[in-house]
Amino acid sequence: MNLLASEWIKTRSVRSTWIIAAAAIVVTVMVSLLGISGLMADWQTELPADFDPTGNSFKGILIGQILIATLGAQAITSEYATGQIITSLTIAPQRRALLATKLTITAFVAFATALVTVACSFGASQAALAVAGLPTASLADPGTVRAALCAIAYLVLTAALGLAFGTITRSSSGALAIIVTIALLVPALAPGMPGILGDIAGTYWPTTAGQTSYTVTEAGPYPPLAGLAILAVFTFLMALAAHLTLKMRDA
């Protein structure tokens, strides 16, 4: 309990924690609205058969996830940057306990941030669709609550990935490079990859699979929760790698 309280005090006292959290909310909402406004004229002319007002509300997560992952990474990279990690390991010699505590605090902050992000993004996007006279979604519609909860879970898992990569690289820039590669670069390159490699990267890549969980009308090769499970398994493996790295390496 003392370790948990200590980590919480450190997290809340770092100004960048709340700056990144606020930025994640604003950026996600703005990108979602920009995505809707950019396609609004086309939708008003001819509405796609698979139009998904819920999924379109969360398009901004594609960019917002980078900030959420950075939020997770800085939970430990900031300590390596200042040398405070030595003090943390002295106070908590059991490195597994230290990492688990950081993961708990990171998940808590990420959950609060994701909750506000998803609520604001959904509300603002539905308002924009309504003003344009396009179909909207409500929480009473089938699949909407599930999609919103999956969007929150996706962001929390992304924060945990950020913490894992930050632990492995000990560097905010290193963690960010991995996050951008996994979340943006590989999915963007997947259509150009040959044969089965492209199919796997485009369908079963962890972040791509996870993103299918917060849509309603998109029909994928697996159920939405299965896509989130793929990301969860990948996150667990990265957390395990982070634990092994922290355990075997000197501070």
Tokens 């959420």 belong to 68
Distance CA 88, CA 79 (A): 8
Q: Look up the domain containing 148 and give its range.
A: 2-248
Total domains in the chain come to 1
pLDDT tens for each residue of 188-216:
888 888 878 888 888 889 999 999 999 99
pLDDT digits (tens, 9 = 90+) for 122-179: 999 999 999 888 888 999 998 999 999 999 999 999 999 999 999 999 998 999 999 9
Q: Where are the alpha helices (DSSP H) in 46-171?
A: 53-57, 61-82, 84-91, 95-131, 144-169
Cα–Cα distance, 235 to 17 (Å, whole number):
21
Report which DSSP code applies to 14. -
What is the separation of C-alpha 238 from the centre of its chain, rounded to a whole number of angstroms?
Answer: 14
